[in-house]
Each structure stands twice: as structure tokens, then as C-alpha cells.
Amino acid sequence: MTLSFDLSDPFTLALAAGGAATFLILLVLLLALRAARRSAEATAPLAAALSDLGGAVRTLDQGQHRLAGGLVQVAEAQAAGQARITEAMERRLEEVQKAMGESLHGSAQRTTRSLAELQERLAAIDKAQTNIEKLSGDVLSLQDILSNKQARGAFGEIQLADIVSKALPPDAYAFQATLSNGRRADCLIHLPNPPGPIAIDAKFPLESYEALRAAATEREKVEAARAFRGAVSAHVKAIAERYIIAEETADGALMFLPSEAVYAELHANFGDVVREGFARRVWIVSPTTCMATLNTMRAILKDARMREQAGAIRRELSLLTADVDRLVDRVGALDRHFEQARQDVEKIKISASKAGGRAAKLESFEFDEPPAALPKAAE
């Protein structure tokens, strides 16, 4: 019997489609089985590797546990060490704070002392500054005085008066003494003849000296020196004419310069002016040399007064000799009295010694011989 299929029949078409689907499903299952077998064969080494990996992981976990225990011990040791370090640091910090406190206290004390000393020095500096300011005012006043001729003369007279009053007794000099020619000397020293009274002039040419010191160029110096020489020479000549009077004053006079600088300048660079003064018997003196000259004059006055009082001195010496002789006689008499008193004291000591011996014998009832007769009084 022959089978035939009619493709136009729907049933036949459905049956053919179902067979084809079944065949496809079988084919897919076959292919899946083959793929599963190949996958199992391929994953066997992977499973072994995973098993080894699991063992390594377990080993790592055990090591991690041991590491955790070690870390705990290290942490504890580190905490203990940190505590010890902290304690040591706190102790050291306390020591440092204590030392720093002591050092700061000492520094504070030293600073306080230094500040106190500094304050004292500042006070001294302020006082010195005040004195300097006062001295500056005095210097300015002195400059004003010296810039005026009349005031300068008064200043020289005041300085001369101070020196003379310190060197000589009050009755040995006179200020502003009038001479027979009508001239008035700044000071007149009453010396005996010879040499006689000596006049002292206290004025000096300061303007020419200041011009000499202020000269800058060589020409100015030459001109100022010429002016200074002329001024001093004129002043020396005026003193010689006014204050040297025959048979009234000494054969000379003193020109007083109240400035050591002017005196030094004259003797250093103007020797001809000084020699001119010697020739005119006008002696130029400064405050220092004036004091020395006045001391010499005081010795002359003392010698003259001793000569004047020579008779009185001899009379007083004679009386003093008589007094000394009487004193010697009275001392001799007193010495004799003392010698007699010494002898009396020796006799009193002998009598007291004998009386003491007899009293001792009476107290102990020791008698050498019977008291037949009373003994004579001991001498």
C-alpha cells in the first residue's frame, strides 16, 4: 500500500510540522548533552583550583586570626609604652616648668634690680641734664658778661677779689683804692717798703683775643695777631703809666687776666709782649700765678710783721722763760712731796705687815716667849 500525502490537507501539514519540531527538539537536547559533557570536562580543573583556593583562604583566615592576636599584643604594648612615655613626658615637662619658673623668677628679680638701677641712673642722668642746662645758662650769662667791656671788668674784679680775700689777711689789701694821681686801682696790696704797695689791674682786652681765635684764613690770623699784640701792649703801657708812682707805690704793677687761655696764648705766641711787660715792670698774671704771687706777698707781710713785733716777741720769750723756770721749781717741789709720800707709804706697809703677823699669832695662840713686858712701838 502506497502512502501519499496531500500537502493541501491541513492535518497533514500540522503532522509534518509537529514532526519537524520534535526532530528539532531532539537535536537541541543532543547538542545540549554534548555541551554539558564538554563543560563538565572543562570545569573539573576549575573545581580543583577552587578547592585549592578554599584551602588557601582558610589558611589565610587562620593567619589573619593570628595576626589579629599579634596586633592586639602590639597595641597593648604600644599603649603601655605610650603611657610610660606620656608619664615621662609629663614628669619632664613638670621639671622643665619648675626650672623655667625658677629661672623666670630669678630673671624677674634680676630684671627688677636692673630696672631699679636703670631708674637710678636715669634719675642721675636727669639730674646731670638739669645741671648741664643750668651750666649752659651760666655759660651763656658768662658769655654775655664777657661780651660787655664794663661787665667784663666787673667780672675780673670779682674773680680777683675772691683770690685776694683767700690769700691775704683783710688788712693787707684794699679794693678800688685811689692813688695820688687820681687813678683808682682795682686792688692795692699794702706791702712794706721795700717794695711798697703794689697795684693790680683786672681788665683785659678780650675782643682782640676772640678775633684771633675766630680767624679762619692765614691773612685773618695775621691781622688778628697784630691787633691782639697792639691791644695788650697798649694795656701794659696804660698800667705802667697809671699805677706805678715813684715813692708811693712799688716799682711795678700786676696785670690780672682772669682767663688762663689768654695767659697761655701770650706766653706761647707773644713773647715779645711779655718781655715788654717785664721792661715796663708790669707783671702779667693768671688766676693760678696770681695765687702763687699773693702767697709770696703773704710771706713778705708775715716776715715784716714779725720784724715789727720782734721786741714784743723777745719780751714774751723772756716771760715764757721765767714761767718755765718757775714750772721747773714747782715740779721739783712736787717730786720731793711725792718722794716723801712714797717713803711714808713704805713705812705704813711695814707696820701693816707686822700687825698682820701678830694678829695671826694671837689667833693660833702661838707665843714664843711670855709677855713679861710690853714691846716698844714698832717704827
Cα(82)–Cα(73) distance, integer angstroms = 14
pLDDT tens by residue, 93-103? 788 878 777 77
Per-residue confidence (pLDDT) for residue 139, from 0 to 100: 47
Per-residue confidence (pLDDT) for residue 76, from 0 to 100: 82
Please give the angle made by the CA atoms of 360, 362 and 364, to the nearest 5 degrees: 70
Higher-scoring residue by pLDDT: 285, 360: 285
Per-residue confidence (pLDDT) for residue 298, from 0 to 100: 86
The answer, yes or no, to whether residue 141 has pLDDT greater than 50, is no
Among residues of the chain, what percentage have pLDDT more than 90?
2
Average pLDDT over residues 72-101: 80
The total of other beta-carbon atoms located within 10 Å of residue 179's CB is 17
The answer, yes or no, to whether residue 257 has pLDDT greater than 80, is yes
Yes or no: say if 232 and 262 are a contact pair by the CB < 8 Å rule. Answer: no
The answer, yes or no, to whether residue 42 has pLDDT greater than 70, is no
CA-based nearest residue to 299, from 160, 111, 168, 103: 168
The total of other beta-carbon atoms located within 10 Å of residue 164's CB is 23
Per-residue confidence (pLDDT) for residue 1, from 0 to 100: 47
- The single-letter code of the amino acid at 107 is S
Per-residue confidence (pLDDT) for residue 14, from 0 to 100: 61
Q: Which of 29-43, 168-182, 289-303 has the lowest mean pLDDT?
A: 29-43
Q: Which of 40-49, 106-115, 213-222, 339-348 has the lowest mean pLDDT?
A: 40-49
For the chain, how many residues are written? 379
- CA 131, distance to chain mean position in Å, is 18
CA-based nearest residue to 253, from 265, 261, 245: 245
Please give the angle made by the CA atoms of 176, 180 and 185, to the nearest 5 degrees: 25
Peptide bond into 195 cis (omega under 30): yes
Per-residue confidence (pLDDT) for residue 287, from 0 to 100: 87
The total of other beta-carbon atoms located within 10 Å of residue 8's CB is 7
Q: Which of 160-164, 263-267, 362-366 has the lowest mean pLDDT?
A: 362-366
Q: Please, which pLDDT band fits residue 28 given cuts at 50, 70 and 90? A: confident
Cα(277)–Cα(261) distance, integer angstroms = 18
Higher-scoring residue by pLDDT: 8, 266: 266
For cell 502506497, what's the residue? 2
| Mean pLDDT, the chain, integer | 77
pLDDT tens by residue, 322-352? 888 888 888 888 888 888 888 888 888 888 7
For cell 680775700, what's the residue? 165
Per-residue confidence (pLDDT) for residue 330, from 0 to 100: 84
pLDDT tens by residue, 157-202? 788 888 888 888 888 888 888 888 888 888 898 888 878 898 888 8
| Contacts of residue 242, Cβ cutoff 8 Å, sequence gap at least 6 | 179, 181, 183, 185, 201
Cα(135)–Cα(139) distance, integer angstroms = 6
The answer, yes or no, to whether residue 6 has pLDDT greater than 60, is no
Grid coordinates representing 106 are 630669678
Q: Please, which pLDDT band fits residue 320 given cuts at 50, 70 and 90? A: confident
Element (H, E) at 189: strand 184-189
The answer, yes or no, to whether residue 151 has pLDDT greater than 80, is no
